[in-house]
Amino acid sequence: MSPGFQGRPRSAEPALPPGQYLTEDFPVLSAGPTPKVPLETWEFVITTENGDERRWSWAELMALPQETAEVDLHCVTRWSKLHTSWQGISLDTLLDGLDTDAHFALAHSYGGYTTNLPLDDLRGGRAWVAHTYDGAPLHPEHGGPARLLVPHLYLWKSAKWVRGIKLRTMDQPGFWETAGYHDYGDPWREQRYQGD
């Protein structure tokens, strides 16, 4: 058997989680209208389980170290988009030195959307507050001015128009999790719905 005998060599096939298909465009999935968030009043707040707050204005956030991330996106509605390019601030930077015993995080957005995830999943270079997509300011439909980007979980965990993160000792389900979607949402284990 020579490599490439059947055309495209296997190693060049994109790695997709089970049940996903590849898309080249960037679908918009929003549960409600796109909120208008002026940068002058925009802020991002991390609240610990004790009620302590860390708060950043837009200018303060942009003054933090910026990272570039090239990541694959996996939506629970079965589309995946590979090699997307983002810029933003690592959650490692935002959580650095924070005094907390919490194990859970509840992200909340302008407009009211929420989603929960283990605090550990926001650490380790795996999560960003992203404001730039493909070299341009993130389009409002996709979550601009800034969205959470947690690409190792299904995309509903990447809260658009993110406004803050509440650290919690108890796990509290968010919008889709309350509606029956999986608490964790690992695309590689196909954790779409509760019980998966």
Ligand X SMILES: Nc1nc2c(c(=O)[nH]1)N[C@H]1C(S)=C(S)[C@@H](COP(=O)(O)O)O[C@H]1N2
Q: Are strands 79-90 and 21-22 parallel, antiparallel or unpaired?
A: parallel
**Residue (102 or 149) nearer to ligand X, CB:** 149
Residues that bind ligand X (CB under 6 A): 27-31, 75, 109, 111, 113, 142-143, 155-156, 158-161
Tell me the Ramachandran region of residue 180: left when phi exceeds 0, alpha when psi lies from -120 to 50, beta otherwise: left
Which x/- pattern, by CB under 5 A, does the window 153-192 give for Mo ion?
A: ---x------------------------------------
**Shortest approach of ligand X to residue 98 CB, angstroms?**
23
Phi and psi dihedrals of 151, rounded to 5?
Answer: -70, -15
Q: Which of 155, 132, 174, 131 is nearest to 44 (CA)?
A: 131
Decide which of ligand X, Mo ion, none touches 39; Cβ closer than 5 to 8 Å per partner kind. none
Phi and psi dihedrals of 119, rounded to 5?
Answer: -55, -35
**Residue (31 or 62) nearer to ligand X, CB:** 31
Q: What residues line the site for Mo ion (CB under 5 A)?
A: 29, 75-76, 156
